[in-house]
Chain A
Amino acid sequence: MKILFPGLGALALALSAAPVAAKPIAFARGSTVMAEYGAGTMNEVQAFYAPRYWWSAGAGWTELMSEDGALERDIVYVRGNLLAKRWNLPGAQANIFVWGGLGRATGSDFAGSTLARSAGFQVDYETRRVYSAFRTDLQESDYFSHRIDTLQLGIAPYEHDYDTLATWIVLQGRHYTNGLYDGIETALLLRLFKGGTWVEVGATTDGKLQAMAMFNF
């Protein structure tokens, strides 16, 4: 393995308060479960199954909370993911994913529950050394509409192989609409994966901790 930054070791971690941009479809005939704790803004649990490498379906739960605590949404949903386009290159891969779903949402600023709609897309490009992804998620209903835009840029201190531990340092910028967070939320994440296990730990420049774990099987 070639080490890009010898002795990089433990990192100052920044918080990410929304799901990190892992691919929404892992592999054919594979199941994925994911749980994320995003202190203060977003928590999420998802489970998907991919009958083919180009689509998956499943369900999830998302909790959104504004910075000041005034707004809260609780959304349970079913969702389908589609790999719209992939480029397999020597030493690189690029993808376009799209998704959409329906669910029920409750909120702190409206009574009862309401039909919730979600949609989004992700474009990414990666090699074994660099990772880049842009993702947008729209969560809306008759009572709220929030769009979450996320840009991730990652670098690997060494190039992982199939049976070795992968380590990535990911810089993330995120923008929320309609009252969840003002400005651009910046985070630094440490990403580790091996086999079917993927974990991420990070912190935002606000000093809040987030953790995410994902399993493929």
Chain B
Amino acid sequence: MKTFINTLFLLLITAASAISAKTIEMDVNGLVCAFCAQGIEKTLKGFDATAEVFVSLENRIVAVALKEGAELTDEELTKAITDSGYAVVAIRRSDVPLQVIRDRVTREADDE
């Protein structure tokens, strides 16, 4: 019984984390031209749930900061990237602010 409750608790915590994820980071293929990749930002900013979008060609990532309490499903994000003409490789969700991702990308660029 105790194991069941602990497992249920862990599942609820995991689900809560996913729901409350502040930032979604996506690995995207084909990101080589900023002029052409504007369509990604334009499409993602069209979602009511989107607070901010960050694109890095160097790291081949597109990151979305969500508004408080808002959510975007993997299907919605994949369709947005695909409808922009690019390919999603992976999607990761976290509680870190978008600025943390920007800083990480900048550090990685400076280290090269």
Residue numbers of A with Cβ under 8 A of B are 1-2, 23, 26-30, 52-54, 83, 86-93, 126-128, 159-164, 166, 193-196, 198, 216
| Cβ contacts B27-51/A at 8 Å (1 or 0 each) | 0111011111111101100000000
Q: Which residues of A contact B89 (CB under 8 A)?
A: 90
Of residues 61 through 112 on chain B, the ones whose CB sits less than 8 Å from some CB of chain A are 83-87, 89, 109, 112
Binding site for A on B (CB under 8 A): 28-30, 32-40, 42-43, 55-58, 60, 83-87, 89, 109, 112
Q: Which residue on A lies nearest to B89, using beta carbons?
A: A90
- Give 6 A-B pairs besides A27-B38, A127-B32, A196-B38 with Cβ atoms closer than 8 angstroms: A28-B83, A90-B60, A91-B32, A93-B32, A161-B109, A198-B35
A81 to chain B, nearest CB (A): 13
Q: Are A53 and B39 CB-contacts (below 8 A) given A86-B85, A90-B29, A128-B57?
A: yes
The interface residues of chain A lying within 8 Å CB-to-CB of B37 are 27, 162
- Determine chain A's interface SS by DSSP, over half rule: loop
B28: which A residues are within 8 A, CB to CB?
88
Chain A residues with CB under 8 A of B56: 161-162
Given A54-B85, A83-B85, A86-B85: A26 and B35 within 8 A (CB)? yes
Distance in angstroms between the alpha carbons of A29 and B58 in the assembled complex: 25
3 closest cross-chain pairs (CB), A and B: A27-B39, A88-B30, A53-B85
